[in-house]
Amino acid sequence: AEIVIVENAEKAGALVADEIARLIASRPDTVLGLATGSTPLPVYAALRTRLADQDVSKVRAFALDEYVGIDPAHPESYRSVISREVVEPLGLTPELVHVPNGAVDGIEHAGDDYEAKIKAAGGIDLQILGIGTDGHIGFNEPGSSFASQTRVKTLTERTREDNARFFDSIDDVPRHCITQGLGTILEARHLVLLAFGEGKARAVAEAVEGPMSAFMPASAVQLHPHVTVVVDEAAASQLK
Ligand code: F6R
């Protein structure tokens, strides 16, 4: 992986947004892979200015994951977050931006449906990734197969605690999610993994330098030929 250490999250956002703007300029129907959570927000913020004068009406996108059983209209459903943070501010075409369907009704084929949509789009050009403190990417928690495809997973207690800040209480954090698999993520043409802060340092070091293991799902990125890791000093602090 190429490791880029930046001064702060804002600089990271600018760097990645520049790359995405270049991609869209050369291919107006670029397929983006979108992460939610706090980490990618500086990228989305920087894209507002970068893309202001560009035609983005043909840009396509796929989110990494969604909670199972959450009302899509709930402000913290990833459908809502992607609309609020990405689709609306950047002026993307809503029909071209996909989020896995977390509705309980039909959940048994929601993963396969999502895989089919990604394939029909010709695959993801650039996948933005955050990393969980337990080493997950997407919501592929420790123990996930490197070959996994989009499917339902159970969130670890650690992840539910980490994400409780978005809800009124931890009891409101859903227990299950539907997430692109590690195998799905590895099929994207370029992976951009972002991490900021001391709390991510161990996961970053183990993902990039540690032995590959299903118990450190992010270590799957070592199998990918084109990975860019963008971190601040704190998140890089345990790299050798
Ligand atoms: C979000 C996702 C997760 C997050 C990770 C880090 O779509 O797939 O892997 O990237 O949980 O979350 P933050 O960025 O909130 O620290």
Question: In terms of C-beta density within 10 A (0-12 exposed, 13-18 middle, 19 or more buried), how is residue 26 classed?
Answer: exposed
Cβ atoms of 59 and 92 closer than 8 Å: yes
Reference 81, options 60, 105, 97; nearest CA is 97
State whether the Cα torsion 140-144-146-147 is positive or negative. Answer: negative
Predicted confidence at residue 26, as pLDDT, reads: 97
Q: Is 233 known to be catalytic?
A: no
Over residues 187-233, the pLDDT tens digits come to: 999 999 999 999 999 999 999 999 999 999 999 999 999 999 999 99
Count structural domains, the chain: 1
For residue 96, give the CATH number of its domain. Answer: 3.40.50.1360
Predicted confidence at residue 79, as pLDDT, reads: 98
State whether the Cα torsion 13-195-41-216 is positive or negative. Answer: positive
Atom of ligand 1 nearest to the CA of 35: 7
Q: Is 65 known to be catalytic?
A: yes
* Residues constituting the chain: 240
Q: In which residue are the tokens 């601040």 written?
A: 232
Q: Is 113 known to be catalytic?
A: no
CA pair distance 118, 121, nearest whole angstrom: 5
Secondary structure letter of residue 95 according to DSSP: G
Ligand 1: residue of 136, 177, 178, 180 to mutate (most ligand atoms within 8 A of CB) is 136
Over residues 4-20, the pLDDT tens digits come to: 999 999 999 999 999 99
Tokens at 54, concatenated = 């560009």
Ligand 1: residue of 34, 36, 180 to mutate (most ligand atoms within 8 A of CB) is 36
Reference 136, options 231, 37, 9, 43; nearest CA is 37
Instruction: Give the binding-site residues of ligand 1, using a 6 Å CB cut-off.
Output: 35-39, 64-65, 130-132, 136-139
- Kindly give the distance from the C-alpha atom of residue 104 to the centroid of ligand 1, in angstroms, as a whole number: 22
Catalytic residue among 66, 136, 206, 232: 136
ipTM score of complex: 0.98
Q: In which residue are the tokens 């118990």 written?
A: 215
- Kindly give the distance from the C-alpha atom of residue 132 to the centroid of ligand 1, in angstroms, as a whole number: 6
Q: Is 0.90 topped by the overall pTM?
A: yes
Q: Is 134 known to be catalytic?
A: yes
Over residues 120-160, the pLDDT tens digits come to: 999 999 999 999 999 999 999 999 999 999 999 999 999 99
Over residues 51-73, the pLDDT tens digits come to: 999 999 999 999 999 999 999 99
Domain span holding position 101 = 2-236
CA pair distance 119, 122, nearest whole angstrom: 5
DSSP states along 155-212 = PPHHHHHHHGGGSSSGGGS-SEEEE--HHHHHTSSEEEEEE-SGGGHHHHHHHHHSPP
- Kindly give the distance from the C-alpha atom of residue 163 to the centroid of ligand 1, in angstroms, as a whole number: 9
- Kindly give the distance from the C-alpha atom of residue 92 to the centroid of ligand 1, in angstroms, as a whole number: 22
Tokens at 154, concatenated = 């159970």
